[in-house]
Amino acid sequence: MADVSRRVNDGESPARRRDTVPARRCCRWRYCELIVLGNGKSLFFAVGDVAGKGVAASLLMTHLSTIFRSLSSLDLSLTDMISRANRLFCESTAPAHYATLVCGRATASGVEICNAGHCMPLLLKQGVTQRLDSTGLPLGLFYASQYPVRHVSLDPGDSFVLYSDGITESQDPEGNQYEEDRLIRALWDHRDETTRWSGSANREI
């Protein structure tokens, strides 16, 4: 799994529909989605990268958003939603197109989460940083891909962070990347500020 994810993030797209797609470098468009479900009792969220560039990639991102917004009205389990989204994305896009994605459903009991080949979400909990690895392949590679879901319990003061490699791969003028370790240090350094902001936002919502 780790090897496949690394190859995809480096721009190499495995074969799909019996087609062979050559390795290549590509740009990525960021995707973010928030959908309130069940009369406000749960929240669907997604953060991802869509492979490609220009207008074509922006249209793919819009298409992916449309798929999830359509499926969110069907009261599906998270596993079924992601599996159906993957099949629809495969059927309606070219073989070279795919999307890495972290998505989930937040409720009063915690968070269900599925990572389809995206950057590992970070859970800051009781002084420890937990990285939540991929549970499935990126969307759009194989029709029959499976997407297991894991459950994360959140206690008061915990932080659950989703991000894109647009943060960790950003560079300073000397070409040094920001990288994940530096992101984690920044999250811990500013954790109290983030917790106060989140609490205020939740009260306003």
Please state, in angstroms and rounded to a whole number, the distance separating the CA atoms of residues 79 and 85.
10
Residue 162 confidence (pLDDT) above 50: yes
Residue 27 confidence (pLDDT) above 90: no
Please state, in angstroms and rounded to a whole number, the distance separating the CA atoms of residues 91 and 142.
10
> What pLDDT is attached to residue 101?
93
SS (H, E, C) 32-82: EEEEEECCCCEEEEEEEEEECCHHHHHHHHHHHHHHHHHHHHHCCCHHHHH
Strands of the sheet with 42-51, listed across from one edge: 28-37, 42-51, 99-107, 110-116, 150-152
Q: What is the mean pLDDT of residues 24-51?
A: 80
* 35-48 confidence digits (pLDDT tens): 998 778 899 999 99
Q: In which domain, by residue range, is 117 found?
A: 2-204
* 170-194 confidence digits (pLDDT tens): 888 888 888 888 899 999 888 776 5
Q: At what angle do helices 191-204 and 180-189 cross, to 10 degrees?
A: 70
Residue type, 143: Y
Q: 118: domain CATH number?
A: 3.60.40.10
What domain count does the chain have?
Answer: 1
Please state, in angstroms and rounded to a whole number, the distance separating the CA atoms of residues 166 and 46.
16
Its pTM stands at 0.74
Please state, in angstroms and rounded to a whole number, the distance separating the CA atoms of residues 84 and 94.
17
